[in-house]
Amino acid sequence: MDVVDDQDRRVALPDSVDRVVSLVPSLTEALAVTAPGLLVGATDWCTHPDDLDDHGVTRVRGTKNPDIETIVALRPDLVLANAEENKPEELDKLREAGLAVYVTDIRTVDGALRSLERVLAACGLERPAWIDGARAAWDTLPLPDGPRRAVVPIWRKPWMAVGSDTFTGAVLARLGIENVLGDSPERYPRFDPADLPAHDLVVLPDEPYRFTADDGPESFAAPSALVSGRLLTWYGPSLLEAARVLPAALAAAETTGAGAAS
C-alpha cells in the first residue's frame, strides 16, 4: 500500500501497520490516544499521554538526534516525523535503513486536523472522535472584544520569539490575536524586548524555555500570560483542551498588570 505524506513523498507501507515509531510529541499523543497498541517507540520529549513507559514504549532519544540503531531494531512498519521538528538528514538515514517514513508539515489549525486524519488513515485507523471534537471547538470559538497584538517569546539569552509561518501564530490568529513579529523573514527571530513593535500582550509558554511568574514577565511593559506550551504549540488531542483553556488564560492577562520593562 502506498500513501503520500505532507511533502508529497510516496511512502510504501505493508498491508497492515502494526508497529509505529513517532519522532514528534504531538504525533505520539495523537496515535497513543487513538490506538495505543500501535506505538512501539517515541522520543524523550514525548510526555503525553503520561503512561507511555507503562505500555512498553521504547525511548529513541530526541527529535533532532534520534537513535537510528534503536529505531531500526524496533522494526517499525512506519516512522512518523515532522518537517520542522526533525532533521531531513536523520530521516534519510532511516529511509536508507529500509524504513517507511511519513513526514507531516503543519502550519495551521485546520491543516493540523487534516494532516492528522491522513496520518491516522495511513496507520489503518478511522477518523477518531477527538478530531471532530477539536474541529467543532475551534470553529465555534468566540473572538475577543477588540484586536490584540502580542509577542510570543520562546527563549531568552538570547531572546527569541515566534515569527512568521508557524502553527503557534496560526493558533493565536484563531483566537483573535495578532503576532507582532508575524511578518519577520524568520520563523523564530531574535529580538530585544526594548525594541518591539507596539503590543498589548506577552504570551509566555513553559516550553521550550520554561517561563514563570518570576522569569519573563519582568522584562516587558505589557501584561503577560503564562500558558502551557503544549496547548500553544502542540497539535493533536491537546487541541480540544487548548480551545477551552487558552482563551481564558490570555484574557486573564488583561487584569494582571504589566511587568517592569528592563
pTM, two decimal places:
0.91
Provide the 10 A C-beta neighbour count for residue 191. Answer: 18
Q: Given the C-alpha cell 507503562, which residue does it identify?
A: 54
Residue spans of the domains in the chain: they are: 2-127, 143-255
Are 80 and 56 in contact, with CB atoms under 8 Å apart? no
> 143-255 adopts what CATH topology?
Rossmann fold (3.40.50)
Kindly state the DSSP code that residue 230 receives in the 8-state scheme: H
3-state secondary structure at position 14: coil
3-state secondary structure at position 138: helix
C-alpha cell, 42: 517515541
Calpha distance 108→166 (Å, rounded): 7
For residue 262, the model assigns a pLDDT of: 27
Vertex 37: Cα angle to 8 and 48 (nearest 5): 75
3-state secondary structure at position 115: helix
Calpha distance 43→114 (Å, rounded): 23
Calpha distance 237→168 (Å, rounded): 16
For residue 252, the model assigns a pLDDT of: 84
Calpha distance 250→239 (Å, rounded): 16
Calpha distance 52→33 (Å, rounded): 10
Calpha distance 135→145 (Å, rounded): 23
C-alpha cell, 198: 507596539
Calpha distance 35→191 (Å, rounded): 42
pLDDT, tens digit only, all 262 positions of the chain: 899 999 999 999 999 999 999 999 999 999 999 998 999 999 999 999 999 999 899 999 999 999 999 999 999 999 999 999 999 999 999 999 999 999 999 999 999 999 999 999 999 999 999 999 999 999 999 877 777 999 999 999 999 999 999 999 999 999 999 999 999 999 999 999 999 999 999 999 999 999 999 999 999 999 999 999 999 999 999 999 999 999 999 988 864 444 433 2
Question: Do the first three CATH levels of 2-127 and 143-255 match, i.e. the same topology?
Answer: yes
Pick the CATH number of 2-127 from 3.40.50.1980, 1.10.275.10, 3.90.550.10, 3.40.50.720: 3.40.50.1980
Calpha distance 146→11 (Å, rounded): 46
